Structure 1
């Protein structure tokens, strides 16, 4: 079998996906995809490009390196494993920033690797954003204050995990969640620990194998006016903080020596 057929079979099994699921996601028949894994036929370049973006592994690695010998985390960190996005410019030479609409945000999960879908998106240009590829994503104001619903986060495309920094915020495109905007807390061996800035949401881990794209916060666009309340603690959040403080005091009292023990 060819390296390509072995690699795509290996990657699919690592994700625990069936051939039918992968074929459906690639919008081809299961029989056609099975022939690629069985090395009965080679995919044309447009399908190979879709497979590359689907598994988040560059075409060069897919066809030339036995991925079974390299841990998945190391594959994602390899300098050559880059799925480059074309940087489009307007007639003034400024970057075109594609806008993912709020109502169609879930459609991005299926269309992020489709040139026709990306070409259909509306664009804006911001002269102060240069030196990279940028895209605008809808924000969930409930989890990441002070960003409001209907706001947009403009992210800069991250090609390598080594370029990420803890404490910074990122837009993640994952197979399980779609678009999510979170703060990076920790980089683990096989996962990223992230959290919302809203204290009501607990931190959680995103598996590296689940990540399709990463975009670092570069700017934001608000579509609603801010009020004073947007920059004040919610009463419920204050109550929660007081409750946590009471619990900590109770624990300290429980651990402190009594007069009987002196």
Structure 2
């Protein structure tokens, strides 16, 4: 069964309605509605819109989030275009800053709306980042100097695309991965983003390809982790530096 079929089955159970009642309200046959709940067929967009309005839950939530994980009264208060954001909270009630590890982009894309996955992430707390929800993402490449491989961009979650501002930088979670870019243009269907490194061409991202938007707040350099296989590499760096120092000292003594 798909997430959609599980969700509409769950929502109907919460309302304690029969399949026949909902089918009548949607102006379709009970057999047709039953196929949507069983996952045998997917509803066309016009029926999906009706289902979304009927249950007062956005299409994005219906097709991407397991609704049984969240209290119904919280779901019903969500604005129509808001993506539900799972977060972790420490014992004092303060939001933690989850850290998305390197080489985890596909794992995050598959599980960004899963609270259990978010809870498994390492986290940190920064006392000067309190108002909002924050997450740390790895940056790779050289398109946004001075940030290089090893940098983590900490972004503040943006709920509505219209909150984005021209000229500011954003960590964008798209259907294909993470990108850190500067917003150059915002229209009715897409955004145009640019790199601070002029070598890279600007490009557009359609709204439907945007999963999450995080506005830049802070950056952190990633320290070496001696437990992840980098030990020999670091030893080599120090040995090479030691040899260079010896050569310089030998040259000065001549």
Please point out which of 41, 58, 62 is paired with 1:35: 41
Compare CA radii of gyration and give the structure with the larger one.
2
Aligned CA-pair RMSD: 3.7
2:193 aligns to what? 194
TM-score, normalised on structure 2?
0.59
Q: CA deviation at 1:189?
A: 2.1
Per-residue deviation at 1:117? 1.4
Q: Which has the higher contact order (CA 8 A, sep 6+)?
A: 1
Asked if the contact 2:86–2:114 (Cα under 8 Å) also holds between the matched residues in 1, the reply is no
Aligned length: 175
Q: Does 1:119 align with 2:119?
A: yes
Structure 1: stretches of 5+ with no match in the other structure: 6-29, 55-59, 65-77, 226-262
Structure 2 stretches lacking a partner, 5+ long: 6-35, 52-56, 67-71, 225-254
SS of the aligned residue for 1:205 comes to: strand
Q: Does the residue aligned with 1:35 lie in a helix, a strand or coil?
A: coil
- Counterpart position of 2:13: none
Query: Within 2, Cα distance between the matches of 1:93 and 1:126?
Result: 14
Q: Does 1:96 align with 2:102?
A: no
Whole-Å Cα distance in 1 between the matches of residues 188 and 81 of structure 2? 18
Instruction: List, as ranges, runs of 4+ consecutive aligned residues in structure 1 with deviation greater than 3 Å.
Output: 30-36
Distance of aligned partners of 1:199 and 1:146 in 2 relative to their CA distance in 1, 3 Å threshold: same
- Deviations along 1:27-79, whole A, 9 cap, x unmatched? xxx9954435278xx9xx9xx9461459xxxxx9xxx9xxxxxxxxxxxxx95
User: 5 Å matches for 1:1-262?
Assistant: 33-37=39-43, 49=61, 51-52=63-64, 80-175=80-175, 177-223=176-222
When residues 32 and 173 of structure 1 are mapped into structure 2, their CA distance, relative to the original with a 3 A threshold, is farther
TM-score computed with the length of structure 1 as normaliser? 0.57
In structure 2, do the counterparts of structure 1 residues 91 and 199 end up closer, same or farther at CA, with 3 Å as the change threshold?
same
C-alpha distance 224-116 of structure 1, shift in aligned 2 (>3 A): closer
